[in-house]
Structures are given as C-alpha cells and as structure tokens.
Chains A and B, each alone.
Chain A
C-alpha cells in the first residue's frame, strides 16, 4: 500500500466494487423465483480484480471475458440496465436477449466479447491487440480467464505469439482456486500460475486479488508496460468467489453441490475486498462511515431501478428467432 491515492479515487474504487457486489447479489432472488433462468455465474468476492483495471483504463482499450464477466463489463463502462435486462434475456438487453448472462457483449464500450467456452476468448483478445499494434495505438487488450482456463492449450499458443510480436495484451488470470467442482490441486501441478508467463519471457506478476490497492498498482504497471510497447503482461490475481460456481448456491461441502469446506469460505470472507477497503479508509480517517453508507444507498437504488426496468421490458418475439444470423 505504498502508492497513495486521493480520497476521490479511493471512493471511486469503492463505489465500483459495491456496484458489482450489489448487482451480483441482486440476481439471487430473481434466480430463485425463476424470473431469471439462464445460467448466472456470480463475481461476488472477485471485484477487486476487475476494478483494479479501472483507474488507468481508457475507453478505447478493450476487454474480452468469459462466463463470469458481469464485473468486467461494469468496469469497462457498460450500461447496467442493458446488462441486467440481458440477464433476464429481455429485448432491452445488451444482446437483445440472444446471449444471456454468459455473453455480455457490447462493442460500444469496448467489451468486445464474453463467452463461456473456457479460454475461448483469449486468442480473440490477441487479435484486438494485433490491431492496436498494427495501428501503433497505445491501447491495451485484456483477456480475462480463470485458473481453469490455464488447462487449455490456446492460452499457451496465445502467450507465445503475443510475446513473439510484443503485443499490448494483458493475460489476466483470475485464480479463484476452483474450476467448477475441482479444486486447483486437482487441475494443476502445485506451481504458481503466474510463472506460466515467465516461461515465455514476458513480465509476469502475482498479486493479492482481494486487495484493491495492490490490484490497482499491478494493473497500472501492466497497462503502462503495454502502452509503452513493452507488453505482453501476465497477471495472476489470487482471489475467491464467495458464491459457488453457478447461481446462488454456495457449493458448501455437505450440501447438494458438495465442494468447498465451510472453513475455507469463512476464511476468505474475512478477506472480502470491499470490507478491506472500508477498513483501510476508516482506519486512516480518509472518510466517514456515513459517506460509505451513502454510496451503498445510491448504488442500491441504481440496481433496483435496473431490475424494475428489466422486469417490465419485453421478451424478444418468437417470430424473430432467425434474426441476426448474418448481418
């Protein structure tokens, strides 16, 4: 926590994390009552990863995500109402109800794509970075994938090419220690994920993904490296999803989905990135509790409004099912 941030900056980071958390948790009820049906992978607990990019991001930079990309979209400047409506699979959604939660795509804000085929968008990100390099633009393309995604060969092919051509791409691995039902010890040898990048001679970092000050700092480093033409960069964010793999289930051992020891979840709850920033700001007297509450309240009503709007939005018309196959 060496870098010092101004109060305004810190509150902005806080606000974005709270916005993501409130948005994610707001889906629980409509999922349980069936108003939301598509598979929804919640980002709760991992907010400091996406928000870590926010301070130094430009509108022209681009993101590609995966199945767990609501947070990425929000940080990229996405329209909350359009995203919520998409998750309800409504006409007003950012993909017109064609994609649902796993395809949060909105080119207008540089969210070039999100798709649930594991690691499937990493090579696409490479293409966007290639374009930046070709045009000598100082922009950055960020590929988000999980620890599970490191199992796919396309990651290694992509890093190799990016390193070969010094492309401005950030390989952003959200290591939450699980790939669906498998803990990381069953999917990877016990060897740090970030060293994958080292094998290709690129700058590679490992960071506490639940500490917003640290993620912001490492993202600054990665982004400026890429802007200077010295990319690519690999970052491993160590984090944890507070919810289970999909939907509101927490995947607690002993319950139906039976995966995660409750002690482990409790341990990570103590590292909740939002609470950590709260504690930091209060302890250092950067702001008062009241200010934080105000932010939460504002966010809360913004999220509520997005749901109200989505719920009265129409479903796409059945007879339009064959639209958008070709332009």
Chain B
C-alpha cells in the first residue's frame, strides 16, 4: 500500500475488519449466530474471527433464533455487548419477541437505568428464485419500533463505520447489510473509525431533483446518475445510511433546494420508509414542483420465478425511466 493510493476493500471484508477491530478493542464483545465460523452463510464477513478470538467469543449456534437472540440481549445487559447475526433477515422473525418486546423496551421500562448495547445483524439475501421466505427486506418493520435504531450501509466505508458505531452504541441497533453488495469495493481506512448513526450522506450535489436512496438502491442510483446528466437532469443524491433515526434535516434541505423528490426503497411500498419520508416532506410544507414519487417493491411476497423477479425488483432501467418521467423526458 502506498500513501497516494488509499486502500480498497470489499464491502463484506469491511464488515469483517470492523468485527476484528472491535473485538480486539473490547474483550467483552461476543459474536453469535449461524455460520459465524464458516463462509456458508455470511460470506467472508466472519473470516478469521473464530481463529483469532476463539469459540468462547465467536459462537456458531444451532438453529434457535429466538433463544440465541435472547441470549445476545441478556449477555449485553449483563456486561457482554453482543452481536447476533441472522444470515437472512427472514430468520429473525423467530426472534421478534426478544428484539421488540425485550430489547427495544428495556431501557424505557427500567426508567432509563438499564440499556441494551446489542447489535441485531440481519442480512438481506435475495434474488436467485429464492422466493418469499428467503428474500425479505424488513427494515421498515424494525424502524417502526420505538427503541430500535436501524442502519443500512451501501458502501464498504459505511459498512465498516456503521458496524463500529452499532457496536459502540449503548442501545439496540439493527444492522442490515445486503448480500448483493458484498463484492463491491471501495476505499476503507485501515484504522478504527465510526460513521455516525442518524446521518445521511449526500453522494452527489445537484439542483433538479432529490433522489433518496438506501442500501442496494443507493448502489443502483450511483450507476444511473451519469445517464441522467446526459439527459439533462442534474440530481442530488442522498444515501440514507440510517433509517432510524432518520436524517430529516438533510432530506428537507435538499428537497427545499430541488423542489422535486423521488424515494427509492428496497422494501415494500405500503407503510414502509418511503411512506414515512413522504410524510415528513409533506409535513414540512415545502412547495414542490412535482408530486412526491416513490419507487419500491410492490406489496407482494417475493416470487420465485426469474420472470416474476424481474418484474418485482428494482433495477437501473426502472429507476432511470421513473426519473425521466417526472421531467416528462424520453428515456430511450
């Protein structure tokens, strides 16, 4: 590595580095979940951890999501801040009680005396005709719950920085990463750093429209913006990074400037984060030049068949065309 060429790392390895550095910093931290000692489920995010920190701290668990998640919460309360990974978010649903009834409410219920420094790490893993129970993006569900923070990095830099923030945060944080981003490379500092929870990133300045993206949609939008420029549309691009707390200030500031907004979510449309963001914009009373536009998954379970998947999921073309349509421009 030379000084003038910053180090690049894959998204998944950025998470791996965060885990290594945090577990090295604080020997109370525990990691548990299915596949933490194998690339089977979690790609290379957990490489080398069990070798370095041992099976007492890196615990590959039986298929027992409810109890294992509760265990992570209890350990966190008892002084061992824990990270519990669910190799697919869909499996987390077995753990709704410990996450929502227990962890999210604990600090409040104890009158502010006992907080729960736990990380619920859930991986979105979809496509490949995996169908309804192996594809879900449930960030909107968790964001609905008071007492839970929810983060969704789209870049390797944020993946590392947000994992570190999630571990350091004294509250329960739902860290949601995306398998489709795992091999993406980007600049990642070697040292320990954090990305603040609750702060969006403006990826590109622009004057015509605000594009609000998150996780995989931020990755897609990055590819679409050059084409928009060619078509005479100068977009401002926001990557939310945190769903909760939501960085309303950054959103409103941008929308006030551009007067147009499209929200591109990776989850379902109804009652999801695109609805919440729309409401905040509407409540702000900002005058818009065109109605708020939302692009998200249809209110349908994830299908299996590749043709249905193509209709179901977002892609660059759908994003590009929707934005061109707002400006009544052709998109051929």
Do A187 and B62 have beta carbons less than 8 Å apart? Answer: yes
Partner of A320, one of B63, B66, B128, B308: B308
A-B pair number, CB within 8 angstroms? 116
Residues of B with C-beta under 8 A to A90: 305
Stretch at the interface among B33-41, B180-188, B250-258: B33-41
The answer, yes or no, to whether B303 is at the interface (CB within 8 Å) is: yes
**Shortest beta-carbon distance from B80 to chain A in Å:** 22
Partner of B298, one of A116, A148, A149, A321: A321
Do B60 and A119 have beta carbons less than 8 Å apart? Answer: no
Do A39 and B298 have beta carbons less than 8 Å apart? Answer: no
Residues of A with C-beta under 8 A to B94: 117, 152
Partner of B303, one of A151, A319, A321: A321
Do A318 and B307 have beta carbons less than 8 Å apart? Answer: yes
Do B133 and A148 have beta carbons less than 8 Å apart? Answer: no
Do B304 and A98 have beta carbons less than 8 Å apart? Answer: yes
The answer, yes or no, to whether B288 is at the interface (CB within 8 Å) is: no
The answer, yes or no, to whether B130 is at the interface (CB within 8 Å) is: yes
Partner of A97, one of B34, B308, B312: B308
Give the distance in Å from the alpha carbon of A103 to the alpha carbon of B299 in the complex: 20
Give the distance in Å from the alpha carbon of A181 to the alpha carbon of B128 in the complex: 21
Q: Which of B129, B130, B301, B305 has the most CB of A within 10 A?
A: B305
Residues of A with C-beta under 8 A to B62: 148, 151, 179, 182, 186-188
Give the distance in Å from the alpha carbon of A95 to the alpha carbon of B308 in the complex: 13
Do B35 and A181 have beta carbons less than 8 Å apart? Answer: yes
Do A103 and B66 have beta carbons less than 8 Å apart? Answer: no
Contact with B along A123-136 (1 / 0, CB 8 A): 00000000000000
Residues of B with C-beta under 8 A to A97: 303-305, 307-308
The answer, yes or no, to whether B90 is at the interface (CB within 8 Å) is: yes
Chain A, 111-156, CB within 8 A of any chain B CB:
115-120, 148-149, 151-153
Give the distance in Å from the alpha carbon of A119 to the alpha carbon of B300 in the complex: 24
Partner of B131, one of A98, A149, A179, A320: A98
Give the distance in Å from the alpha carbon of A152 to the alpha carbon of B90 in the complex: 15
**Shortest beta-carbon distance from A149 to chain B in Å:** 7
Do B41 and A180 have beta carbons less than 8 Å apart? Answer: yes
**Shortest beta-carbon distance from B21 to chain A in Å:** 26
Residues of A with C-beta under 8 A to B91: 117-118
Residues of A with C-beta under 8 A to B65: 152
The answer, yes or no, to whether B294 is at the interface (CB within 8 Å) is: no
The answer, yes or no, to whether B144 is at the interface (CB within 8 Å) is: no
Q: A149-B63, A152-B94, A179-B62 are in contact. Are A322 and B300 (CB under 8 A)?
A: yes
Do B131 and A99 have beta carbons less than 8 Å apart? Answer: yes
Give the distance in Å from the alpha carbon of A90 to the alpha carbon of B132 in the complex: 16
Residues of B with C-beta under 8 A to A149: 63
Do A100 and B129 have beta carbons less than 8 Å apart? Answer: yes
Do A153 and B130 have beta carbons less than 8 Å apart? Answer: no
Q: A151-B63, A182-B60 are in contact. Are A321 and B311 (CB under 8 A)?
A: yes
Chain A, 81-125, CB within 8 A of any chain B CB:
89-90, 95, 97-100, 102-103, 115-120
Do A321 and B66 have beta carbons less than 8 Å apart? Answer: no
Q: Which of B41, B94, B310 has the most CB of A within 10 A?
A: B94
The answer, yes or no, to whether A316 is at the interface (CB within 8 Å) is: yes
Interface of B is mostly: loop
Give the distance in Å from the alpha carbon of A208 to the alpha carbon of B324 in the complex: 64
Give the distance in Å from the alpha carbon of A99 to the alpha carbon of B131 in the complex: 6
Do B130 and A38 have beta carbons less than 8 Å apart? Answer: yes
The answer, yes or no, to whether A315 is at the interface (CB within 8 Å) is: yes
Partner of B304, one of A38, A148, A182: A38
The answer, yes or no, to whether B190 is at the interface (CB within 8 Å) is: no
Partner of B63, one of A38, A179, A317: A179
Give the distance in Å from the alpha carbon of A303 to the alpha carbon of B311 in the complex: 31
Partner of A100, one of B130, B300, B311: B130
The answer, yes or no, to whether B227 is at the interface (CB within 8 Å) is: no
The answer, yes or no, to whether A37 is at the interface (CB within 8 Å) is: yes
The answer, yes or no, to whether A325 is at the interface (CB within 8 Å) is: yes
**Shortest beta-carbon distance from A109 to chain B in Å:** 20
Do A317 and B134 have beta carbons less than 8 Å apart? Answer: no
Chain A, 149-196, CB within 8 A of any chain B CB:
149, 151-153, 179-182, 186-188
Residues of B with C-beta under 8 A to A153: 64, 66-67
Give the distance in Å from the alpha carbon of A186 to the alpha carbon of B50 in the complex: 15
Partner of A103, one of B35, B304, B310: B304
The answer, yes or no, to whether B289 is at the interface (CB within 8 Å) is: no
Q: A38-B129, A39-B134, A152-B94 are in contact. Are A118 and B63 (CB under 8 A)?
A: yes
Partner of A148, one of B63, B130, B301: B63
Q: A180-B34, A315-B305, A318-B308 are in contact. Are A119 and B63 (CB under 8 A)?
A: yes
Give the distance in Å from the alpha carbon of A119 to the alpha carbon of B134 in the complex: 15
Partner of B312, one of A39, A186, A187, A321: A321
Chain A, 306-327, CB within 8 A of any chain B CB:
315-322, 325
Do A316 and B60 have beta carbons less than 8 Å apart? Answer: no
Q: Which of A97, A100, A321, A325 has the most CB of B within 10 A?
A: A321
Q: Which residues of B are in contact with A by a Cβ distance under 8 Å? A: 34-35, 38, 40-41, 60, 62-67, 90-91, 93-94, 128-134, 298-301, 303-308, 310-312
Beyond the given A89-B306, A98-B131, A181-B41, please list 20 additional residue pairs across the A-B interface where CB-CB is below 8 A: A39-B134, A97-B305, A97-B307, A99-B131, A100-B129, A116-B133, A119-B63, A149-B63, A151-B62, A152-B63, A152-B64, A152-B65, A152-B94, A153-B64, A181-B40, A188-B62, A316-B307, A318-B307, A321-B311, A325-B301
Q: Which residues of A are in contact with B by a Cβ distance under 8 Å? A: 37-39, 89-90, 95, 97-100, 102-103, 115-120, 148-149, 151-153, 179-182, 186-188, 257, 315-322, 325
Query: What are 28 A-B contacts with C-beta separation under 8 Å?
Result: A37-B306, A39-B129, A90-B305, A97-B303, A97-B307, A98-B131, A98-B132, A100-B131, A100-B304, A115-B133, A117-B90, A120-B133, A151-B62, A151-B64, A152-B64, A153-B64, A180-B34, A181-B38, A181-B41, A182-B60, A257-B40, A315-B306, A316-B307, A318-B310, A321-B303, A321-B312, A325-B300, A325-B301
